[in-house]
Amino acid sequence: GIQVEQSPPDLILQEGANSTLRCNFSDSVNNLQWFHQNPWGQLINLFYIPSGTKQNGRLSATTVATERYSLLYISSSQTTDSGVYFCAVPSSGGYNKLIFGAGTRLAVHP
Amino acid sequence: EAGVTQSPTHLIKTRGQQATLRCSPISGHTSVYWYQQALGLGLQFLLWYDEGEERNRGNFPPRFSGRQFPNYSSELNVNALELEDSALYLCASSPLAPQFFGPGTRLTVL
């Protein structure tokens, strides 16, 4: 089945710094989601981005489907950005169960 | 618009007991997904229900079962609880894509 790899596994930033998180997937997909898991465990939808680039405030994401990767950019990081970031793709390229990467754990220090 | 809701927030059971977790999807969403997030094992797909029927099942024993009601809400039942069933159980709903997640139920098996 499809494999999803995220890097780096851990990231420590000072408040105000920028960062790039990467998600590689092993097969073609027709959609991809980025999530932020808050300290209470809830997965917050950040982006639904099958291809191209989207921006939402200080966050943006780019998916290059032909090269099987997606990037999540966080600019001017804040302590509230801390948590785990996951990317996920459908298992068979369609509308089905999501396969998650192992996540990037981000800690932003003041 | 109300998001996905789950109950209870926390559940403590002992080995051998049964647990019932509940999920209400976003209005208009017919698909409900269940995922398990156990410590060190990442997010794993459990079950997918759509229009009242089980559409897909992850690699979990038959002790894990569920159902979807006519109003599209769903129950996850875990029988004969084992210590390793301790985890965060997340429910998601979708029209097709993307999936939107609830706050989760944290199950602790003693």
Spatial CA neighbour of B25 closest among B90, B75, B93, B77: B93
Taking CA A16 as the corner, what is the angle to CA A36 and CA A50, rounded to the nearest 5 degrees?
35
pLDDT digits (tens, 9 = 90+) for A67-93: 999 999 999 999 999 999 999 999 874
Residues of B in contact with A98 (CB under 8 A): 33, 35, 43, 45, 92, 99
**DSSP-based three-state secondary structure for B84:** helix
Residue B80: HSE in the Cβ half-sphere, 13 Å Cα cutoff:
5
CATH number at residue A91: 2.60.40.10
Question: Cβ B101–A31 below 8 Å, yes or no?
Answer: no
Number of domains forming the structure of chain A: 1
For A53-101, give the DSSP string: EEEETTEEEEEEGGGTEEEEEE-S--GGG-EEEEEEEETTSSSSPEEE-
pLDDT for A96 equals 79
Report, as an integer, the average pLDDT of B78-95. 97
Structure tokens at B35: 């995922």
pLDDT digits (tens, 9 = 90+) for B21-62: 999 999 999 999 999 999 888 999 999 999 999 999 999 999
Quote the domain boundaries for residue A82: 4-109
pLDDT band at B74 (very low <50, low <70, confident <90, very high): very high
pLDDT for A95 equals 55
Report, as an integer, the average pLDDT of B8-16. 98
Structure tokens at A67: 């090269």
Q: How many other CB atoms are there within 10 angstroms of residue B35's CB atom?
A: 25
Q: Which residues of B touch A (CB under 8 A)?
A: 31, 33, 35, 37, 42-43, 45, 48, 56, 58, 88, 90, 92, 94, 96-104, 106
Residues of B in contact with A51 (CB under 8 A): none
pLDDT for A58 equals 97
